[in-house]
Structure 1
Amino acid sequence: METERQGAVLREGFLVKRGHVVPNWKARWFVMLPDKLLYFKYEGGKRDSSQRGQVPLEDCEVTCPYLEYENRPLVLKLRTRTGVDHFLEACSREARDEWAEQITAAVNKLQAEGGEAAAGRRDPSGPHLQDVNLSKVLESMYDVHNGINMNQHVEQGSTYSNCFSGSAVVDWLVFVQLALSRVDAVTLASALLDEGFLRTVGVKSVEALRTGGEQFMDDSTALYGFSDSLKKRGLVRAETSLSAVELSGEVVKRGFLLKQGHRRKNWKVRLFVLRSEPAFLHYYDPTRDDISPAGGFSLRGCLVSSLNDNGVPLGVKGNIQGNLFKIITQSDTHYFIQAPTQQEKLDWIGALREQT
């Protein structure tokens, strides 16, 4: 996978994130930097070049395990300094605990390095964001009757729908008295952007975020929109009914992989679980749970082969990232799968071949 260039990457991989307003779960690619977690979505099997949000790690509280979600025992919770909760689900207990351990280490390092300097950066006369419930601010902003107006905007010849300008956000926050001044409103809007509640739209706001300048721009030409997590999506129905016998084997390997659909040929993140005795490979929709598989097949008589990343192999569609391999079942059904890294691809191929 292509790594983030904004700083030293400490860890990266798929996690399933719970939405803030619409409480659905979506698979995202997370990149951990020394002071923040960035997350991205996938388009056609390839990571989107623009980040969908971030979780600042300064003074972050980590709860692991977090066991309040039924049928989701692999969740960890991050509470940011501004009191926003982020719920992230890993593919296994080992992965969950590793993420939690590394995040905790990063938080402790930031606290040790920051000390009095971090306290000095906070202006006691300014807005106290630790006392602001950002989720409530977002709900008010998103309200269909009294929230901010979403319009169509044109920037550098491109048209963007359902968005608003930076200055419109600042105007609205001051008008509804969520901020006392434009300076306070910019600080509050920056926190909304920093927590992933808002996203950049168009060239100007994206470039401002990338260059590390003023994070949120009080500008009529800088465009923003609501996070994609506010868009409701229907649940995916299970493709196959599977017997209890198929799920009775010992779990050999678990992990997030990208699978190409058989009908639409689109790529989706799926949680794959490899079992032995009997040898089956099942895949789950991670936006739901790991109880009811979306599909699965016996590995008896299967052929597992690595695919060359140079060019697009026959039968593969879309804008692929790479690290491809193929499984051909005994009934001649072809499954095309992408692993996040070359090493994970080799590990999966080795584990699958041991069961065939």
Structure 2
Amino acid sequence: MDFNLSEEQLMLRDGVERYIRDDYGFEQRRHQATTGEGFNREHWQTFAELGWLALTLPEDVGGLDCSFVEASVVLESFGRGMVLEPFISSVMLCSRIVDRSGSEYHRQALLPALIEGRLLLALADSECDTRFTLGCIEETLARRTGDGYQLNGLKTMVFDAPSADKLLVTARLDDHPHPAIFVVDRTAPGVEVIEYALVDGTRAADVRFSKVNLPATALLIEPSQSQPILEEASDRAALAVVAQSLGVMHGVMDMTAEYIKTRSQFGQPIGKFQALQHRMAEMFVEAQHARSILYRGMAYLDKPAEERARAISAAKAATGKAGRFVCAQGVQLHGGIGMTEEYPVGHYFRFMTLLEKRFGDTDFHLARFAKGY
């Protein structure tokens, strides 16, 4: 595997970094996180115009048919900028499920609109009340009606659901052991979205379905075909989180290195103290470890499911540990200012905390990795 970026990939990285630096300032980001949907629709539309929403999708729906490497380049820069827009939910996860569904009707109806920035998607899959219990609190069920389906149940912690136009909902159908996947309008009668803000400023929701009537065309994937598609898309989304986490780590290191060069104590910059240099070196080593294991995960994306799962679990677990270490050290090296709301390093820590939990936390992926042996 060639670890050097091509000329086109370098241009993409430079373009994203320039946009984040010039048009996605920290103060604007901090304000946006506390208002409305938790992100800026104008930024999302710009992402579409720049082609970032089309990167991984095939050409027949208007995509650019790029590899995961290009997506990781964008995601790393998004991590540096703590981007709030739902790129992973819509572009890396849901669009992959729709693209692999085999339904030309849904591919042509949903994916071009997503690429143009006119449509946001969210996956409603979890039924576990992770705040209080470890079990399923209410199973989502679909039953056939004369001309379609009726949906009842509850989904919890649906990331980016408050802003989604459509939800991809998993539901048990015909007592099959695996769920079917339906496309549901977020504003359809019987859909109740109970939204809340997360620790990093992004939004999630619990979504209740009460006698939601769906047409026959709402069925995206049959139960017999859903499991491998869901697992593959979730693995790719988990690796996308790894790439974004790497950007967070580099953002923290850059900020911390600059701070210890300018903060003086005992008549000299604290960056000259050997103990702090050792800490910065440890942070760099952890970030490089995360980068290496991200590349390994990308190399395994097209491997058989078990090999892919082990590689991505290794990447997610290692990056979760590394990210927490780097961000904690960044806050500590900043001292008291690192705990203030007005300074970015604490926001990086909260952002990393959410990334570590998405698509399985460190403990989950350590267990899945160990289970493979």
Q: TM-score, normalised by structure 1?
A: 0.24
Larger Rg: 1
Structure with the larger helix share:
2
Structure with the larger strand share:
1
Q: TM-score, normalised by structure 2?
A: 0.23
